[in-house]
Amino acid sequence: MTFTMIRKNLLFCKITRIKTSSKSLFDSYMSRFKPGQETCPVCGSLGNCRIHAYYGRHLMDFISSKPVKSDICVLRVCCGSCGHTHAILPDVVVPYSGYSLFFLLRLLGEYFSGLFHVEELCERFGISQNQLYQWISLWRIHKQEWLGVLADMEVSDWLFLKELLSYNRYSSFSMGYAIQCNNSFMQSHANPPPSGSKTAQYHQLIYSPDISVF
């Protein structure tokens, strides 16, 4: 049994315009979410997903210049047609990561700006240097996967980050990345999924319907 998920688009705006926490965006998204409108990513059946279970998860955000830990409740739906269950994960959440997308982009942005010492940065974000370097290497792998080897050499980390922040709809990027790379941006495979299975599988082809939370 593989662990599958349904990625949802929530970030239909410029990331830099967002002033609320990942948790509040996640919660307002989930309050509008209707399982019965989803397409099962495994068997393709439309309208057969039902609420299966919820599991709790920590999500670290970075708000007013400090790390803020909150808890979110992830919904798993079950497809009545094939019996697979899928976690519903809007794009403020990075699969298997306890850190929000905003946290990661903010941290990497400050690192790539070159304005801060690594020690100071890690202390302020409450992480180890080892963790920071793991994220930087993951970022570089994903950047190259997205841009291709040649473009990757021409676009600096800082420039690529500014590009991500400038998208009018960040979700267009996150969805495009998932389709092209068969993985979510900044999703590390080093962390085992909660179900205990070893692989995270993407089957998703259909992302609609979309729900606006802004």
Choose the binding region for Zn ion from 25-33, 41-49, 100-108, 200-208 (rule: CB under 5 A).
41-49
Residues touching Zn ion, count (CB under 5 A): 7
Which of residues 10 and 78 has its CB atom nearest to Zn ion in the complex?
78
Candidates 12-20, 39-47, 133-141, 199-207 — which segment interacts with Zn ion by CB under 5 A?
39-47
CB of 83 to Zn ion, least distance (A): 7
Of 42 and 155, nearer to Zn ion (C-beta) is 42
Residue reference for tokens 């389709």: 179
Question: With respect to Zn ion, which residue has the nearer C-beta, 79 or 161?
Answer: 79
57-116 residues in contact with Zn ion (CB under 5 A) are 79, 81-82
Among residues 2, 17, 36, 43, the one that binds Zn ion under rule CB under 5 A:
43
Chain positions contacting Zn ion, by CB under 5 A: 40, 42-43, 45, 79, 81-82
